[in-house]
Amino acid sequence: MNFDLVIFDCDGVLVDSEALACVVHAEVLTAHGYAISAEQVHDRFLGRSSREARFEVETEMGRVLPDEYTVQLKATIDRVFGEQLAPVPGIAEALARLSLPVCVASSGTPTRIVSSLTTTGLIERFAPHLFSASQVKKGKPAPDLFLFAASEMGVNPSRCVVIEDSVPGVIGAKAAGMTVLGFHGGAHCGPGTATALKAAGADATFDDMRLLPGLVERNWLLAAATLG
């Protein structure tokens, strides 16, 4: 199978942000009356848009979160990411060796995507091909975002390979008719992450970004059989 486009999720795939974001979301939600742990944020909302996560929380609470919640969440994430955000280990090397076109399809907002990639020095490799869940009706696990990204890049979905770290992302990419490689090398990933990604439909899983060029540009089926 030869591919024409590599579609990257952003958080947890390009930037090692998920563990940081889960802590921030848990602290801010708890401060606004919705007690939740970072582990619970990870299990419930990883890979989903903040729009959908907020709707779910507000439905359970029976009230709308105040504007202060949004302001506080953004300010805290900006501060924490500015101080601690780093690229996923090995991603710069992998991108330098990839010759295929690339783009980003993220559940994050356009502003957050640009900010994260700029902070980690990856923006020039992807801009302007940055696609956000805010640009489609339904975010992950719906296929809308992946289909939108493929359409904007002028590539048939069947010729796309997606790099994802979340179950909703894997489900959405498979529903879009794309090949999916599940990445479980981020700081937020645990012993069961690879199994969960495979169960969701990932065609293969890997935990070292340095393996990516070989997976997508050479004999990926052989590599997949080796990696599992």
How far is Cα 20 from Cα 25, in angstroms, rounded to an integer?
9
pLDDT of residue 1: 59
Contact criterion met (CB below 8 Å) for 152 and 130: no
Q: Which helix (H) or strand (E) holds 71?
A: helix 67-84
Rounded to two decimals, the pTM is 0.83
How far is Cα 89 from Cα 95, in angstroms, rounded to an integer?
12
The residue with tokens 């179950």 is 167
The fold of 18-84 is DNA polymerase; domain 1 (1.10.150)
Contacts of 60 (CB under 8 A, 6+ apart): 34
pLDDT of residue 218: 62
Contacts of 45 (CB under 8 A, 6+ apart): 25, 53, 56
Q: Where do you find CATH 1.10.150.240 in the chain?
A: 18-84
Contacts of 184 (CB under 8 A, 6+ apart): 165, 193, 194, 197, 205, 206, 207
Q: What is the pLDDT along the chain (228 residues), one digit of tens a residue?
A: 589 999 999 999 999 987 888 888 899 999 999 999 998 998 888 777 778 888 999 999 999 999 999 899 889 988 988 898 999 999 999 999 999 999 999 998 999 999 999 999 999 999 999 999 999 999 999 999 999 999 999 999 999 999 999 999 999 999 999 999 999 998 888 899 999 999 999 999 999 999 999 998 764 554 454 454
User: What is the rounded (10 degree) CA torsion for 199, 220, 158, 176?
Assistant: 20
pLDDT of residue 226: 45
Contact criterion met (CB below 8 Å) for 6 and 100: yes
The fold of 5-16+86-227 is Rossmann fold (3.40.50)
pLDDT of residue 51: 81
Q: Which helix (H) or strand (E) holds 82?
A: helix 67-84
Q: Where do you find CATH 3.40.50.1000 in the chain?
A: 5-16+86-227
pLDDT of residue 222: 46
The residue with tokens 């507000």 is 58
